[in-house]
Amino acid sequence: MCKVLIFSCLSVLMLMTTACGAPLSEKDDTLTTLIKDLENLGTSMNEINLELYTPNDKKECSWQTLQCYLKEIVTLEKEIEDEDEIEDENVSSVRNIKMNLQKLTDLIPPGTGCSICEANAKNFPEFRRELTNFLRSMLK
């Protein structure tokens, strides 16, 4: 009887560990995809004359930080859809980044007391660098 009880407890523990670990791998996959998409954006994107905002409190307010970056990616998407010199591949990458940022915000619970958007205006290369660094910090 005791062996059955121990085996049952171990089985439940293994199932709980597997169930709790699933969202982490999805989150990691999404983060990795986002980082690759940001790195693959072409040099024609560096010529965009657009100020994009980056948040201040990044680590304490991950959900709000992602929301801020997502809002700016939507702005960027609207801007580059009308640009002739921006390659279709880059437009597609920006759309993928937007979709994956939204997916990531759905995986992370919202924080409270964070007010961080529109803190610092940056050009696109700086914006991309800060977003990439933030995503890398979330991956660790």
Per-residue pLDDT, averaged over 38-53, amounts to 83
Which domains are present in the chain?
Answer: 24-139 (1.20.1250.70)
- Mean pLDDT across the chain: 80
Strand ranges for 1-105 from DSSP E: 52-54
Quickly tell me which residue has 């560096």 as its tokens. 46
Are 65 and 134 contacting, i.e. CB atoms less than 8 angstroms apart?
yes
pLDDT in tens, 14-40: 555 444 444 458 889 999 999 999 998
